[in-house]
Chain A
Amino acid sequence: MKKNWPILVVDDEEVMCESMAAWLREDGYRVDTAPNGQKALDLAKSTDYVVCFIDLKMPGGMDGIETMMEVRRIRPEASVIIITAYATVDTAIQAMKEGALEYIVKPCNPQEISMLVSRIMKFKKLESENAILRKRLTRQYRHHDIITKNPRMEEILALTQEIASLRSTALIRGESGTGKELVARAIHFSGNRSEKPFIVVSCAALTETLLESELFGYEKGAFTGANGQVKGKFELADGGTIFLDEIGDISPKLQADLLRVLQERRFYRVGGNQEVEVDVRIIAATNRTWRRRCGKADSGRICFIAST
């Protein structure tokens, strides 16, 4: 078990903080203490605490529940255990509602605390292992989903790795059924956006107006039936990748709108007047012959055109 995972003890009573810290340190954990909520937040900003023991009643400033909420805002993954000497059902319910993992009344049996911390650490270890395994699976994605012995195709796979972590827009061109979406997925899942969304939009399947609201979302009242604000695919893909399949089929007007998003990563929702900014990598694909559209020669096989 990773005993170097840090624990924070927050209590206005120094003796409570220090004795609890000393007891946990005997178990091999790295333990910090804070006498109040503000100090706890300062510490949480610089240290990724796995477990926080927070006293419910702290005079002046933030109480235990407020401290917990702020700590969880900074460190959403931290497991918070509220400790109190004056337990009531109301405070227990409030603590659990606000996100406390456990609510314990001091003094507690050493076995209870020991098992609680051990259980949390085991869970965190499993979470961490899960993340590692997911990453490994992601890395295997390209190998398992695209099987090829073709040297040209292997070149393309090598190129996907080269451009995987770039922010540049990529265009994948090839005939229908040649695996353009698989290549796009390989780029996304091999890069530094792999933990974020990969959103697919089939441009050919939608009319211009539908595609516009699908991509950019819409505000309430933007058109008949727009009963509320809806986020578009660009917003849903924030931090990740949007794959625009059959981009060659979109109208010149939408192309102009897309160009602005490509250049500035900003757009307006349909019917909206507030600009939305996103961090999205765009991968587009087409089965059209680029030669006819751009007047340039091409190889006639799948290729990438990365625009800046």
Chain B
Amino acid sequence: MNALYVVAIGSVPERALQWAEEAAAEWLPLPLRRLQALAIPETAYDTKRRQYQSVEIMKMLAQSAPRDAIRVLGITEADLAIPALSFLFGQAQLNGPIALVSLCRLHQEFYGLPADLDLLRERTGKEVLHELGHTFGLTHCSERECAMSLATHIEGVDAKSDRYCARCGLQLVERFASL
């Protein structure tokens, strides 16, 4: 059966990759495999903004996807952005195979606060579910607690739960049934 591949982009702690896999395994009935870590493409770095253009990393992920990959989830510590927006927690192809989550702004340290591994784990799980949900066709949900609700700041990430609401969960089940 086709698998969901998890891959580190640049240097990513092993525990973060495991958190991502655990979150995915809880909701998605797919075999999980790990790809060898990929280096962040040089073309992705925006020297003016000191951030990484997520589109470049997404392109690299698409090129690196194994043949049996139904989805590829990249995890990175890089601070992601797109030209129009100042930052992204992650990005995904709607109904496509590629998803990307940045841990950079999920760390408490980013906001000048002491590190909190439990909170980082929680946030990582939420963002993984959010971006993978997009790859299965889910759009932003109006239920504030649903993992698919749009978070444009860290408080928004903390306000949602690490689960899909009933409506999004049902859509996901339907999508799996049609795969």
Contacts and interface: CB of A to CB of B under 8 A. Distances in A.
A28 B140 contact: yes
A107 B134 contact: no
Nearest to B96: A22
Nearest to B49: A107
A110 to B, nearest CB: 4
B108 interface: no
Quick one: which of B54, B84, B153 has the most chain A CB within 10 A?
B84
Interface of A: 3, 13, 15-16, 18-20, 22-23, 25-28, 53, 83, 106-111, 113-114
Interface residues of B, number: 22
B47 interface: no
A152 B117 CA distance: 83
A25 B94 contact: yes
Q: Is the interface of B mostly helix, strand, loop or mixed?
A: mixed
B86 to A, nearest CB: 4
Contacts of B81: 107
B55 A26 contact: no
A26 B84 contact: no
Contacts of B88: 23, 110
Contact of B53 (A15, A23, A53, A111): A15
Contacts of A22: 91, 93-94
A53 B81 CA distance: 18
B9 to A, nearest CB: 17
B84 A19 contact: yes
B85 interface: yes
Given A26-B92, A26-B140, A110-B88, A16 B152 contact: no
Nearest to B140: A27
B94 A107 contact: no
25 contacts: A3-B139, A15-B83, A18-B55, A19-B54, A19-B82, A20-B84, A22-B91, A22-B93, A23-B91, A26-B94, A26-B139, A26-B140, A53-B84, A107-B82, A107-B83, A107-B84, A107-B85, A107-B86, A108-B84, A108-B86, A109-B85, A110-B85, A110-B86, A113-B84, A114-B152
